[in-house]
Amino acid sequence: MPAQAVHGTYYDGLSARAHPVTLVLEDSLEITGRDLRLAWTLADLAAGDTAAPLMRVGPAGRAERVDFTDETLAAALKDRCPDLYRTDSSASGGRLRLVLWSIAAGISVIGLAIYGVPAIAVRLAPVIPAAIEARLGGAVDGQIGKILGDPPVCGDAPARAVLDRLIERMTANGGLPVDPAISVRRHAIANALTLPGGRVVVLSDLIDQSRTPDEFAGVLAHEFGHVAAHDPMRALLAASGSSFLLSLVLGDLTGSTIVVAVGQAAISAGYSREAENAADSYSVEVMRRSGGDATALATILERIAKDDEKPEFAGLLRSHPFTVERANRIRAMAGSETVGRRILDETDWTTLKGICRNVPAKPAK
């Protein structure tokens, strides 16, 4: 019986470009896409640090990888790949870096007591190693799911392909510290949440409530602004205080207290006024550079302010305060030259709006 084909996304490790691919597990992991055909030896595969149902695998020691959410393929790879969760020799250097970083964290605990959480968060967040941030982001992703009632991941293949192309277009030359990983989950609240490690969780009602692709893209670009500024790590430090730094010293990077605190911080998105304004500015520049309507973020925020009693906007409004003031500032920055542009054509926008077409709805919490 032939192996079942599974949809996934391939990254070459050289750019943020996402390639929609088909995965088939035979004697090797066969990866097929447009102008792409690879066969990865099973013994060479290593798994990345992700939260189920997302799985990430690639040849050990190389930057290229594939992401997918098929649980059957994930289980088969775990059975057939002997070193899937290996710790290779290169990890010794990583361990040394973590030891040194733990020493620095111990010093930072003292600094925290002297200077306070905000000052430490501003200085520390941008220099936290990417591996630590990615590991924490994966753990927080799972906690977010629990807080929201385990909303299912949406992965309609044509819609996901449109979203990946949009992400690639928006992040080209965007100066992000990591390649963002965007997941869409079926949920009856319109919101997007930014987590450590460049993870962005989009709740599907945000797409449903966006009247144009540029409104959705404007919100997504705003979240990319938080990624660029390391705001999730600053929120982590503010939410957990010295607990996070102590967890580095003790080696418990994903302890329950930390993960719950950060998950709750991501839900409330308690960023400062300055952080929100900076993310708005980033959104305006990304939308202008990407050929979209740079005022669209203001449009959706103005509608939120007008309809703030409506439940579909409750999540986004609670997590993004001083809405009218922000909308006015965005319009002033954006000007009028991009008004009327569309970052996606109607066909692609209709396809993207169907990303959860085969996923049952989850109630709002």
- 105 part of a folded domain: no
Q: Are residues 65 and 140 in the same domain?
A: no
24-41 as b/e, with b when 16 or more CB fall inside 10 Å? bbeeebbbebeeeebebe
Rounded Cα distance between 297 and 290, Å, is 14
Q: Are residues 191 and 244 in the same domain?
A: yes
Q: What is the dihedral angle through the alpha carbons of 169, 172, 176, 179, rounded to the nearest 10 degrees?
A: 70
By three-state DSSP, how is residue 152 classified?
A: coil
Domain of 44?
A: 6-80
Query: What is the full per-residue pLDDT of the chain (365 aa) written as tens digits?
Result: 457 889 999 887 766 677 899 999 988 899 999 888 898 888 888 888 777 788 889 888 777 889 899 889 999 998 888 778 765 444 444 455 545 455 455 545 544 444 444 555 445 656 577 777 777 777 777 777 777 788 899 989 999 999 999 999 999 866 788 888 999 999 988 888 888 889 999 999 999 999 999 999 999 999 999 999 888 877 776 665 545 544 544 444 444 444 555 555 555 556 778 888 899 999 999 999 999 999 999 999 888 767 654 544 444 444 444 677 888 999 999 999 999 999 999 999 999 999 999 887 654 44
Q: Are residues 132 and 246 in the same domain?
A: yes
Q: What is the pLDDT of residue 249?
A: 42
- 90 part of a folded domain: no
- Reported as a single tens digit per residue, the pLDDT across 7-65 is 999 887 766 677 899 999 988 899 999 888 898 888 888 888 777 788 889 888 777 88
Q: Are residues 322 and 178 in the same domain?
A: yes
Q: Are residues 270 and 338 in the same domain?
A: yes
**Token pair in block for residue 259:** 């993960």
Q: Are residues 151 and 268 in the same domain?
A: yes
Numbers of helices and strands, H then E, in the chain: 15, 10
Which stretch of DSSP H or E encloses residue 329?
helix 323-334
* Residue 30: CATH number of its domain: 2.30.29
Q: Are residues 76 and 128 in the same domain?
A: no
- 330 part of a folded domain: yes
Out of 58, 80, 102, a domain closes at 80
CB 298 within 8 A of CB 338: no
66-79 as b/e, with b when 16 or more CB fall inside 10 Å? bbbbbeebbebbee
- 159 part of a folded domain: yes
Q: Are residues 196 and 249 in the same domain?
A: yes
Residue owning tokens 């010295």: 242
Q: Are residues 309 and 179 in the same domain?
A: yes
Q: Are residues 272 and 347 in the same domain?
A: yes
- 102 part of a folded domain: no
**Token pair in block for residue 116:** 């306070």
- 25 part of a folded domain: yes
By three-state DSSP, how is residue 51 classified?
A: coil
Q: What is the pLDDT of residue 208?
A: 93
Pairing of strands 65-68, 181-185: unpaired
What does the DSSP assignment read for 119-155?
HHHHHHGGGS-HHHHHHHHHHHHHHHHHHTT-PPBP-
266 burial (CB, 10 Å; 0-12 / 13-18 / 19+) is buried
Number of domains within the chain: 2
Out of 80, 111, 133, a domain closes at 80
Rounded Cα distance between 3 and 24, Å, is 6
Rounded Cα distance between 28 and 230, Å, is 38
Rounded to a whole number of angstroms, the CA Rg of the chain reads 21
- 361 part of a folded domain: no
- 85 part of a folded domain: no
Q: Are residues 230 and 146 in the same domain?
A: yes
Q: Are residues 69 and 155 in the same domain?
A: no
